Amino acid sequence: MSDQGSSAASGIIAKGLSCERGGRRVFEGVDFAVAPGAALLLRGPNGSGKTSLLRMIAGFLEPPEGRLTWNGRPFGEVDDEAGDDPARIAFVGHLDAVKRALSVAENLAFWAGLYGGGGGGVNQALDRLGIGHLAELPARFLSAGQRRRLGLARLMVTPAALWLLDEPTVTLDEASVAAVEALIAEHRDGGGMVMVATHAEMAIPGAAVLTLGAAR
């Protein structure tokens, strides 16, 4: 997937990654590369380590073996590099990080402020995912799908080079899935990278596929 390879090491490269959870080997010897503008689809049965791999890349888990590099440097070091965006990773996991006591717009504005993205695009981001009319509603009244959309709207207000999406389309209706696909396409057009773990069919043109834990 190094189709844009300005330098051989640009983007994210993983070599021989392994993962252990609770003493059990979940996967081992995983290699992949995601170049700027590329997308990687993670597939595999439940428990094959898709979420663990995404959390490993986000830095929550330390890989017991293997190497993860970003533009040729180990992940931890990149922060010191001048010119690197400090918030390089946006993560949308199983949990939507939505505070029920805050309104929809307040939830999103908080993440925009925390990630230094400014509060400007909040309403736009909500409109984009079809929850703009709910901006003033306390988030506890949202349906599961609407909450999910609020979680995904975060991607638009927290600038990041790499998106890690864990089952982004669960509970979403068709129109919203299309909106998410459009977001991913735009992000890639801007040179962003996307990794998506999903069981659903998603239209992500030219995405590489990484299949984990084939039947064990």
Partner 1 sequence: MSAFWCLVRRDLRLAYRRGGDSVNVVIFFLLTVTLFPFGVGPETAILMRIAPGVIWVVALLAAMLSLDRLFRGDFDDGSLDLMILGPLPLEMTVLAKCLAHWLTTGLPLVIASPLLAVLLAMDGEGFTTLIGTMLLGTPVLSLIGAIGAALTVSLRSGGVLISLLVLPLYIPVLIFGVGAVDAAVYGLAARPHILVLGAMLIVALPLCPWASAAALRLSVE
Strand pairing of 24-34 and 39-43?
Answer: unpaired
- Would you count residue 64 as binding partner 1 (CB under 8 A)? no
Any idea of the CA torsion for 213, 173, 144, 166, to the nearest 10 degrees? 30
Q: How far is the CB of 95 from partner 1 (least distance, A)?
A: 3
Q: Which of 4, 25, 60, 178 binds partner 1 (CB under 8 A)?
A: 60
- Would you count residue 95 as binding partner 1 (CB under 8 A)? yes
Residues from 67 through 86 that contact partner 1 (CB under 8 A):
86
Nearest C-alpha neighbor of 108 from the set 79, 146, 144, 143: 146
Q: How far apart, in whole angstroms, are the C-alpha atoms of residue 195 and residue 90?
A: 10
- Would you count residue 49 as binding partner 1 (CB under 8 A)? no
Q: Which of 82, 101, 214, 215 binds partner 1 (CB under 8 A)?
A: 101
Residues from 9 through 38 that contact partner 1 (CB under 8 A):
none
CB-wise, 2 or 198, nearer to partner 1? 198
- Would you count residue 97 as binding partner 1 (CB under 8 A)? yes
Alpha helices, DSSP H only, in 59-129?
A: 104-114, 122-128
Amino acid at 214: A
Any idea of the CA torsion for 117, 190, 160, 46, to the nearest 10 degrees? 130
CB-wise, 58 or 208, nearer to partner 1? 58
CB-wise, 101 or 214, nearer to partner 1? 101
Q: How far apart, in whole angstroms, are the C-alpha atoms of residue 5 and residue 102?
A: 44
CB-wise, 32 or 115, nearer to partner 1? 115
Nearest C-alpha neighbor of 195 from the set 207, 205, 185: 207
CB-wise, 1 or 160, nearer to partner 1? 160
Q: List contacts with partner 1 (CB under 8 A).
A: 55, 58-62, 86-87, 89-91, 93-99, 101-102, 106, 110-111, 113-116, 154, 158
